[in-house]
Amino acid sequence: MAIELTDRAALELKDLMTAEGKPDCALRVWVAGGGCSGLQYGMAIDDGQPDAADQIIEDRGVKIYVDSMSLQYMDGAKVDFVEDPQGGGFKIDNPNATGGCGCGNSFSTEEGGAKAGGCGGCGCG
């Protein structure tokens, strides 16, 4: 399944990369331990070469780099761009997440469990 982009996310990423003068960059996504639900997402524009262990996915004309450990937690996820009264930003809809935090940056899975205390570190509560 891998990781997909919505049409809106792909358009916003292409515009961002062009505005930064890096139209041939990739979106790097990853999962790291931490956050108030146990795991947290990371995303960045990557103008370097992929690491040897990276999976390289291309969707809607945008390259996505993801390491295999992160992909096991994000397989089937969809990156979207959403707007709300505070502005716009990228959001990950992850079918593997069994719990999450109100901020949307932290999640838990069946395997990873949830961090005790729930939403305590991000101020989203």
Q: Looking up tokens 């937690």, which residue turns up?
A: 73
Q: What local confidence, expressed as pLDDT, does residue 38 receive?
A: 72
- Whether 53 has a pLDDT exceeding 50, the answer reads yes
Q: Is residue 95 within 8 Å of 76, Cβ to Cβ?
A: yes
Domains (range + CATH), the chain? 4-108 (2.60.300.12)
CA distance 48 to 63: 12
Spatial separation of the C-alpha atoms in residues 34 and 11, rounded to whole Å: 30
Rg of the Cα atoms in the chain: 15
In the chain, the amino acid numbered 114 is A
pLDDT tens digit sequence for 74-111:
999 999 999 988 888 998 898 887 765 554 444 445 55
How far is 42 from 48, CA to CA, in rounded Å? Answer: 17
- Residues 18-41 have pLDDT tens digits of 999 999 999 999 988 766 657 888
Q: What's the confidence (pLDDT) of residue 88? A: 85
Predicted local distance difference test score (pLDDT) of residue 123: 43
